[in-house]
Amino acid sequence: MQYFTHTLSNGIRLVHKPVDSMVAHCGITINAGSRDELPAEQGMAHFIEHLIFKGTGKRKAYHILSHMENVGGEINAYTGKEDTCIYASFMHIHYARCLDLISDIVFHSSFPEKEIQKEKDVVIDEINSYKDSPGEQIFDDFDGLVFKDHPLGNNILGTPRHLKKFRKNHILNFLERNYVTHEMVISSVGNIDFNKLIRLAERYFGHLPSSVKSLPREILNGYHAETRLVKRRNHQVHCVIGNRAYSADDDKKTALVLLNNILGGPGLNSRLNMAVREKHGLCYNIESHYQPYSDTGLFSIYLGTDHEFIDRAVGLVLRELERLREKQLGSLQLKRAKLQLQGQVAISFESNLNEMLSLGKSIILYNKIDTLEQINQKIEKVTASELLDVANEVMDPARLSMLMYKPR
C-alpha cells in the first residue's frame, strides 16, 4: 500500500493513493466545522456546505449539480464538528472536471441572497425532521450535556433562531477566518499519475493566496458528570450514557478503540448486545461509540427500550462497564478482540471512497497516514493491563453522564 503526498505552493496539502480502478474519488477536507463557529454563528459551517452548491461566478445551481452527473459522477459534502468535506466519485478520466468544480464552489461561490433565504427554510426543515427522530437527536443533546457551554456541544445544524439572522456578510466572515489554505487537504484515491494530479491541483487551487487561521479554537472547559431526564412524546425510552474521552493523538486512543469494540462495537457478539439484547431481550438496538477530536473525545453508549425495561437495561449496561473495570481480559479473549478489530479495519479499507475521506482526515489530524499494517501493529501492541486502565479512566461511574428521553 503506497501513498503520495505533496504541498502546493500556497500550503494546501495533497495526498493520493493510486488504485487500478475505473472509478476515482477525490475531495477537499477543510479543518473547520461547527466548533469553529462564534456564538452567533451556530449552524454556519453546515449552512455554508449547503450554499456552495447554489451558484458561483460562472455556474448556476443546475450547472453545479449537472457538472459531474453529466458524466455519471456524483458530488457530495458533509459537515462535522471539526471538519467540512466536499468530494466526488467519477470515472478516472474526469479528474480535471472534478477539481475544477470543487475549486469553483469552495472558493468562488456567490451566495445569492435569494438562495440564502430559500436555504434557511430547507435547513430549518432538516432541523425539525430530527425532532421526529429521538434516536438521532439524543446524540446531539448528549453532546450538549458533556460539552456544555462549549462549541463542541452545539448542534451541527444550528438552531432556527440563529439561522434566521444569517446574512451574506456573516457567511463571508466565517469563510475568511476558516477556509484557509494551510488548513485544507485534497485527498484522492484513483487511477491517475501523481505528477499529473499535482499539475491539476496547482492549476485549479494553486492560484489561491496562502492563508492561515486567524482565530484559535476555544479551549476546553471543565467537565462534571450530569444526569438529565427529558419528557418527550416517544413510544420508547432512549438513553445515552458516556464521558469525555481521549483526543485523536492520545497514546491511549487505540486501547479505547479496542475496548469500545469489545463493549458495543458493530459485531453482534459485543458484550452489550449479548447481555442486554440476546440474553435478556430488553432492547433491539444497543451500541457504544468512541469519537476522538483534536483535543478531546467522546465515549458513549446508546440504547432504546420500552419504559418497563429501562431500569433493568441500564443496570445491565453498568454491570458490563464494571466487568471491564474490574476483570482483566484473558489472553485468548484479548487475541480474539484484536483479530475482530483488525478484520473490521481491513474490510473498511476495501471501500476506496471511505479511504479517500479517511486520508483527508488523517492529514488534517496527524499530518501523516497510517497504513493498514501500521494500524494492525498498534492494535497488536495493546495489553490487557492497558485496557483495564482505560476502562477505569473512561468508564469511571463518577464521571459518567446520562441523558434519557422518557415518554410523557
Q: Starting at the edge strand that comes first in sequence, how are the strands of the sheet with 297-305 ordered? A: 227-232, 401-407, 237-245, 297-305, 285-292
Q: Which domains does the chain have, with CATH numbers?
A: 4-205 (3.30.830.10), 227-407 (3.30.830.10)
Among all chains, which residue has been given the C-alpha cell 462549549?
150
For the residues 101-114, what does the mean pLDDT come to?
Answer: 96
Neighbouring C-beta atoms of residue 215, cutoff 10 Å: 9
234: confidence class by pLDDT, cuts 50, 70, 90: confident
Which cell numbers in the block locate residue 271? 458484550
pLDDT at site 132: 86
Q: Which of 189, 237, 162, 234 is nearest to 87 (CA)?
A: 189
Please write down the long-range contacts of 224-229, taking CB distance under 8 Å and 24 or more positions apart.
225/398, 225/399, 225/400, 225/401, 226/145, 226/148, 226/401, 227/401, 227/402, 227/403, 227/404, 228/145, 228/402, 228/403, 228/404, 229/404, 229/406
- Angstrom distances, CA of residue 154 to CA of 67, 137, 165, 296, 365: 34, 12, 17, 15, 21
Residue 1 has pLDDT above 80, yes or no: no
Each residue's pLDDT tens digit, 138-188: 999 999 999 999 999 999 999 999 999 999 999 999 999 999 999 999 999
Residue 130 has pLDDT above 90, yes or no: no
Each residue's pLDDT tens digit, 374-393: 999 999 999 999 999 999 99
Percentage of the chain modeled with pLDDT above 70: 100
The predicted model scores a pTM of 0.95
For the residues 261-270, what does the mean pLDDT come to?
Answer: 96
215: confidence class by pLDDT, cuts 50, 70, 90: confident
For the residues 79-98, what does the mean pLDDT come to?
Answer: 98
Q: Which of 337, 344, 293, 24 is nearest to 150 (CA)?
A: 293
Each residue's pLDDT tens digit, 300-310: 999 999 999 99
pLDDT at site 233: 87
